[in-house]
Structure 1
Amino acid sequence: MALQKMSESVYVGMCHKIGTPQKVTSRRDIVDMKELFDNQNGRGRFMGSGSHREGFRFNDSDIDTMFWLTDLRVVWDFSQSEYYNIHKQTLILCDSSESPAGFTLLWLPLERAGQGVLSSCVEMNGGLYISSSKFIENACASIAPDSRIHGPCSSGTRGPKEVSLEYDEAYCFASDFWPPSASSWIDRCHSWPPPHVVNDIVRNECHFVAIGHKLGNHEDKEWRISFSQAEYKLVCSMNHTQFLTYGLLKLFLKEIINNALGDEDKLLCSYHMKTAVFWAIQQNTLPQWCPQNLLAGFWVCFKLLLKWVYEGISPNFFIPENNMFLSKIHGQAQTSLFRRLYGLYKKGIALLLHSPSIRSSIIDVLCNPRLTVCTDEHTLISEAEFDVQLFGEIHSNDALHLSDLQRCMKVLHTVEQLIGSPLSQYQVVSLQKHTATILQNTAFILHNMCTNTGVNKQVYIADKMSCHMLKLAARCGCISDMFYIAIYYYKTFRYREALSVIEMTKVRLAQPYLMYEGRVDRERYTEAVGGQSWSTKMRQTVARGIQLDNTICYISELIPEQQSALQKRMPTLYIPVFVMLHFLEFLCYRHIDTTLSQAALDHLQVLVHQDQGFYILDLHRDISWEILGICQQMAGNLQAALYSYQQSLRHYPFHEIQTATTQRIHELQF
């Protein structure tokens, strides 16, 4: 009974740390929607993989992505070629005859691939084979020159260091056919996963990543069969207790097993934890996976890991003949790891007291055995808390960079098709925000194109269409999306109309239940919109910074900043919404009323000088000081402008606008 109560307490703690069922589902659905849009672009396809894609949001989670070309397809034998148009698609043939289980050579029967593939080929056995080591070297050099090779991936850091994310990108090949070496897996799936999941997995692609077996005969040329897509579907088919067991094992690995070890000494990885959970679920080692059995499930998986280390055999879930310990965990390393794990095993479940993330949940029960633990999801998280997470997730996945009208129209056609399709409630609200962003990009791209032609009729028609799209975007987006209408009116010299939109938006931004950058008065928020749809909540309560795609001209005064950022591969400027409000007021009033223009500048100056991180996050201070300097320079206050530009340079260069700032300072001084 005590163990069950302790399990419930840990379950609740893990829900707070990792996520409730609703949170995890919403994360997956929102990323699904983003991937659907991002994959509307030509030959290439990409797919997220790893912890982030599975629904975890650990602070140190990296972003794993797989990328492949759709006109290069791998087949297992020549008979499968009948399903392809060989004039449009290049076929690659698997040759597993000389490779360990789970690995293969890739033979190119005809020299019809692109230069990137041909330059990675080597001659062997009278044929042309794609060398995995050459391929990953060439991919890193041409696609991601700032990255390093890490296993089968191109690895690096993306974004400013305060909020940077580690990424692993695997450039791979795909096959439409299930590997013959994994056919036994299908026959093994009696109890889990359910038949519809098995069928879905087998019908879809498997992939080949650029790494060979360290003990194989052709390590530099071999490719590993990857089941990342299948594994994601398996993780999604877990119930929440099973998912949290997986999360608990990841924390156990990080905070206990690998704690204080150097990278070279870390023999076990997260993939071993995932594989242990898969085997434990499929082998029915626990009659019921529920909150009361969370620790029992963890213990089953831990014992399985201990057995694997003792025997030196960790069977791959899809191809058991592939021993994942073979090249790394053997000899003295195996003996040392087993002793370490067995020492933990002898401590019993108390070993989890060494985990900072889990310790308090266990101590709560030990100190108060009569503690009542409620595992009902609705008691674990408030409506406002969930909504903050949901809208934050939608916002972080709303980076669709559409630089040409043709792609915009293609994506809008996808939106049209999705509107009538069955979507989850999270995907519906995510689709709305994506639609708003796409319409905004399309409106400005269309206007810029037609203005450049100089044909009045085209400009008039484009203007009507752009206005309509921006108003439609404001109706399906959040409060901040109103500003794109104001920006457009300013761009087309309709200053009074722009100011009218700004005034309406200002009223909505002053509401006491505003949700801004993840902050909200929860009581007032619940009173105002509690129980309403997320679409309504987004339109009426949510505000975010203004994202300007650096390939599109929105405000001519910011062109130098956009160009500077583009030189450093920064795709967007992210301007705090209240900075944008006063910036636009200043720009518009300059053409109408100089007194009100100065008042807007005064408001902006007070905001930038005195804000303590409530309206302007620290990472956005570089662009905020820059905009203040631009306004001061336009107003003729050159000394104040110089000070603002210098302040912009002193803050962290989140937006990579230093080149523009330095140029503006140079202009002031000379």
Structure 2
Amino acid sequence: MSQDPDYYRTVSLKLSEVLSDIGVNKRMILKRRRIIFLKETMDRCTDILLHKDIPIYRFGSQSEGSTTLGLKSDADALICLTMFNVIQDRSEWQPGKLNLLMIQDETTSPGYCLLQRLRMDEPLPVPTDSLDHVPDRHLTASRGKVLLKNTLNRVFVSEGDVINGPASSAQGRSGYTDKDLVIALCCKSWPVEAQPWLLQQGLGRWPTEDMKRYCETTGCFVVPVSSKNGQNEELEWRISTSQAERCLMLNLNITQLRCYILMKMILKTFINPQCDGVLSSFMCKTVLFHCIQNTRSNHWRQSNLLPCLICCLTVLQNFVTQENCPHFITPENNLMAGRISPHNKHKILEILQNILQGGDCALQEIPTDDLGMRLQVKMNMDEAFLYYQTRAQIHNTISTLLLLNTISTICVHHKHLLREIMHDGNERVRERLSDFIFTLTRMYRVVGLSSLVKSALKLLLPRFSSSLGSVIASHNIYTTHSISPEALGWFSAGLNLDVASGRLKLASALYCVGDMERAEFVLRNTEEKYDLNTVEPACNCYYEHPVYYSRLGFMHKCNTGNEELIQHTTAFCVTFLRCEIGCVPKELQYEMFRSTQEDRLERIEMADYWLDWAVVDSLPYLYFLQYKTYGSFQRVADQHCALANLVTTIETESNLGHRETALNLLGQCMEQENRHTDALHCYMKSLNIQARNNAAKVLICRLLNEIVNMQGPALN
């Protein structure tokens, strides 16, 4: 490799440019982090509404911003089971809680512990003979102690998920990022074996004293997995300092993050495919931490990126040689213990040596995000490569995926909370929705102006306002054939979350009460706001529903801001509980009763509960309501225009989540037009999309009955 300092500087700057182009720059990293922390905040808000205390933490590359499109990083979530009180000293014992004492002895590996069950009435061990009277498959008696087994995580594994260490992974599902879900127990105190780390001071004076003080307050988790060489395969729990590590990652500068991403690309391209994936990205992160701690801070600058990478790879090489990668916070914990076979060790060292000798040559071979080709172009070693995306296109794509992630989170939380109240009566649903809104509003008033919590609340409140308005209006229509000012007020509060769904719930209620003029006004206003070039339908109902990001106007908009864009670029599907049936046209009411007894046996209630609701995409519902409203005015030309728009939407809009429902509505419009063959065609097409849980079965029977009855006199 050339020893010319200008060479290192040139390659470093060009490499920094390439990484910036593919989204590893301050703006996109902050954007990634904001969206994930917003998701985490919405999780907490939902927990508060349901009076639950099961916090979800979003750790890993997505929340750190340490990924690219080509790395395809998992979405890592840690679910903390707070019903357990994990303690390191009996003085931390709490009465009435499931107290677990962390035990580390000569049988436990460094960084791991056993969890001993303590009594709930006093800080003493549960006697081993208690299991004779009350067996528990998660507890076992060992060495005179009652210990919690690490098989606890299997209780939370969904069908089809893959167990990978402490995580259950949902993989390969169309339209979704792979997810790693880790179950953990929380310990409020900092690990005893990590106390020395708080006192260490490296050459780079990193981490700072402020960072260490914060890290100490984060305590730790214990996750259900044993060490590779442990003697207690079903009993050991790994001690995790994930919150402290996230703090360290969020305090890296841009060069340090780029260095980490390059290490992950090297791992993915050269090492793991040939070496059984024995090295992990967490090892790369650990190497980076050690290097930062032991080098001066001015070393980590853009013009020095290549030497920084070489430094990290050299340290990784030394760790592999020694077969010891010391955990950054608890160095006695060797992350490589029992992981690397002699063959893989030799192969890894050979690959690393070739990379270190070749310098940027190896980087030019990395296919991830076209990094190698881009670097060659930047170095003027190749003609401009025309087939990869431009910087602007990549940033648009990242921004689009992040906004869609937020949209999905809003849908999930809205549906989850409606699921909790769906079986209550109208009055009880009204009370629960009012409680949700009151709680969220109270939270909104007490948080800071620029708080992320405030942003999360702005996204959650309008959907519940619309639902409450619809529940009240449904009762009004049933009892007084009118819509009360209270209902209209809540509808108004829910209008501006997105482009269409709140307005369509209002228009639907107005149509059902017979106020056609106001319904037509709201529909016209909705159509004006619904820019077909930029507005993207948003549905999170069908778990396997793939999404195609084909609307360029939407992607361009996404890159101009964050979650506030949802108001102008998104159309959620329109959702009605059964207690809102008074606000639902009779043609859509069939969807609330779509499931036969046989269908119900095949349903997965954790995912399919919404099939007892009426749910329809905004755009086809807009045109359906226009068709019905214009019909009441006998505006035939406008009515047929709305019908034509409904047909076109069903045929051309690729992102509809409920195309079968739109076809069922279209079929009923065709029946109204006396086009019975076309209506039957719509219902059959609907069944081809969803064979089960489809109201088309009822609609076909009803249509055939009508046709037979119409032909009856002629047959006689």
The TM-score, its normalising length taken from structure 2, stands at 0.77
In 1, are the aligned partners of 2:627 and 2:643 still within 8 Å (CA)?
A: yes
State the partner residue of 1:437. 463
Partner of 2:424: none
Q: Supply the distance in 2 between the matched residues of 1:224 and 1:545 (Cα, whole angstroms).
A: 41
387 and 63 in structure 1: CA distance in 2 versus 1, 3 angstrom threshold: closer
* Aligned counterpart, 1:153: 167
Q: What secondary structure is seen at the aligned counterpart in 2 of 1:367?
A: coil
Give the Å deviation of 1:408: 6.3
User: What amino acid sits opposite 2:642 in the alignment?
Assistant: A
2:679 equivalent among 629, 641, 649 = 641
Cα displacement string for residues 288-317 of structure 1 (whole angstroms, at most 9, x for unaligned residues): 323222333222222221111111001112
1:125 and 2:152 are equivalent in the alignment: no
Residue from 406, 409, 422 that aligns with 2:448: 422
Separation in structure 1 between the aligned mates of residue 577 and residue 293 of structure 2, nearest angstrom: 49
- Kindly indicate whether residue 92 of structure 2 is the aligned counterpart of residue 92 of structure 1: no
Match in the other structure for 1:362: 375
Give the structure 1 partner of residue 212 of structure 2: 198
**Residue of structure 2 equivalent to 1:588:** 629
User: What do the CA deviations read for 1:635-663 (whole angstroms, capped 9, x no partner)?
Assistant: 55332233223334545x6xx96544455
Deviation at 1:500, TM superposition (A): 1.0
CA shift in 2, pair 1:188/1:553, >3 Å: farther
Task: Indicate conservation of the 8 Å contact 2:139/2:147, yes or no.
Answer: yes
- Residue type matched to 1:35 in 2? E
1:120: Cα distance to partner?
0.7
Shift of 1:669: 5.1
Q: Cα deviations across residues 526-550 of structure 1 (Å, max 9, x unaligned)?
A: 9xxx99x9798655x4233435377
Residue type at the aligned position of 2:285: K
Alignment match of 2:252 (pick from 217, 235, 238): 238
Counterpart Cα distance in 1 of 2:163 and 2:569: 41
Q: Which one-letter code corresponds to 1:637 in the other structure?
A: R
Within 5 A, what are the aligned runs for 1:548-587? 548=575, 553=580, 555=584, 557-558=587-588, 561=591, 567-568=603-604, 569-570=607-608, 576-587=617-628
Larger radius of gyration: 2
**Which of 667, 677, 692 pairs up with 1:629?**
667
Q: In structure 1, how many angstroms separate the alpha carbons of the residues matched to 2:116 and 2:564?
A: 55
Which amino acid in structure 1 is aligned with residue 683 of structure 2? Y
For residues 186-225 of structure 1, the aligned pairs below 5 Å read: 186-188=198-200, 191-225=205-239
Q: 1:33 to 1:535 in 2, by over 3 A?
A: closer
1:504 to 518, 525, 531: 525
Per-residue deviation, residues 7-33 of structure 1 (Å, max 9, x unmatched): 233223323323432232233223323
Q: CA separation of 1:320/1:68 partners in 2, compared to 1, >3 Å: closer, same or farther? A: same
Q: Determine the C-alpha separation between the residues in 2 that align with 1:345 and 1:666.
A: 72
Q: CA deviation at 1:321?
A: 0.6
- Is 1:54 aligned to 2:64, yes or no? yes
Which is further off, 185-194 or 312-321? 185-194
Aligned partner of residue 299 in structure 2, secondary structure? coil
Instruction: Name the SS for the 1:439 alignment partner.
Output: helix
CA distance in 2, matches of 1:63, 1:416: 31
How far 1:329 moved relative to its partner? 1.2
Aligned mate of 1:322, from 313, 320, 333:
333
Q: Cα distance 1:537–1:45, how it changes in 2: closer, same or farther (>3 A)?
A: closer
Per-residue CA deviation, residues 306-342 of structure 1 (Å, 9 max, x unaligned), is 1111110011122111111112114333223222332
Secondary structure of the 2:32 match is helix
Q: How far, CA to CA, are the matches of 2:682 and 2:658 in structure 1? A: 14
Q: Any conservation in 1 of the 2:447–2:453 contact (CA below 8 Å)?
A: no
> Secondary structure at the residue paired with 2:22?
helix
What is residue 541 of structure 2 aligned with on the other side? none
- Decide whether aligned partners of structure 1 residues 366 and 640 sit closer, same or farther in structure 2, where only a CA change above 3 A counts: same
**Deviations, residues 582-630 of structure 1 (Å, cap 9, x unaligned):** 1222343454437344442222113323x2xxx4437665554444335
Instruction: Give the corresponding residue for 1:605.
Output: 647
Partner SS, residue 29 of structure 2:
helix
Cα 1:642/1:231, change in 2 over 3 Å: farther
Aligned residues of 1:208 and 1:226 also touching (Cα < 8 A): yes
Where 1:104 maps in the other structure, the secondary structure is strand
Q: How many angstroms apart in 1 are the aligned matches of 2:247 and 2:19?
A: 22
Amino acid at match of 2:524: E
Matched, 1:106 2:102: no
Superposition deviation, residue 95 in structure 1: 1.1
1:546 counterpart residue number: 573
Q: Is the 8 A contact 1:117 1:130 kept in 2?
A: no
Distance 1:429 1:383, change over 3 A: farther
Give 5+ residue unaligned stretches, structure 2: 1-5, 385-390, 422-428, 538-548, 706-716
* Deviation of 1:124 (Å): 1.4
- Percent identity, please: 20
Q: Note closer, same or farther for the CA distance 1:26–1:198 as it changes in structure 2 (3 Å cut).
A: same
From 5, 9, 32, the equivalent of 2:10 is 5
Aligned AA (2:458): Q
SS in 1 for 2:379: helix
Question: For the Cα contact (< 8 Å) 1:132–1:211, is it kept in 2?
Answer: yes
The equivalences for 1:367-382 within 5 A come to 367=380
Answer yes or no: is the 8 Å Cα contact 1:215–1:327 preserved in 2. yes
Deviates more, 1:9-18 or 1:225-234: 9-18
What residue is the counterpart of 2:175 in the other structure?
A: 163
Query: Is the CA contact (8 Å cut-off) linking 2:182 and 2:223 kept in structure 1?
Result: yes
Cα offset for 1:420?
4.8
- Determine helix, strand or coil for the equivalent of 2:163: strand
The reply on whether 1:256 has 2:270 as its aligned counterpart is yes
- 2:147 is matched by which residue type in structure 1? Y
> What secondary structure does 1:74 align onto?
strand
Partner of 2:503: 482
* Aligned-partner residue type, residue 374 of structure 2: S
Question: Aligned partners of 2:68 and 2:472: how far apart in 1?
Answer: 38
When structure 1 is superposed on structure 2, of 544-553 and 433-442 the one drifting more is 544-553
476 and 360 in structure 1: CA distance in 2 versus 1, 3 angstrom threshold: same
Looking at structure 2, the residues matched to 146 and 58 of structure 1 have their Cα atoms a distance apart, in angstroms, of 25
Aligned length: 632
1:375 aligned partner: none
What CA RMSD, in Å, does the superposition of the two structures yield over aligned residues?
4.0
Q: What per-residue deviation string (whole Å, max 9, x for no partner) do you get for residues 260-308 of structure 1? A: x5xx811112211222222222222663323222333222222221111
> Matched residue of 1:174: which SS?
strand
Report the CA distance shift for 1:277/1:628 in structure 2 as closer, same or farther (over 3 A).
farther
Q: How many Å separate the matches in 1 of 2:554 and 2:179? A: 34
Post-superposition shift, 1:179?
Answer: 0.7
Judge conservation of contact 1:561–1:657 (CA < 8 Å) in 2: no
| Paired letter, 1:645 | Y
* Cα offset, 1:130, TM superposition: 0.7
The Cα of 1:632 is off from its aligned counterpart by 3.1
Cα distance between partner residues in 1 of 2:468 and 2:252: 40
Report the alpha carbon displacement of residue 3 of structure 1 after superposing the two structures with TM: 3.1
Report the secondary structure of 2:174's partner residue.
helix
Give the structure-1-normalised TM-score.
Answer: 0.82
Is 506-515 or 292-301 further displaced after alignment? 506-515
**Does the aligned pair in 1 maintain the 2:433–2:464 contact within 8 Å?**
no
The answer to whether the 8 A contact 2:18-2:375 is kept is no
Aligned to 1:24: 29
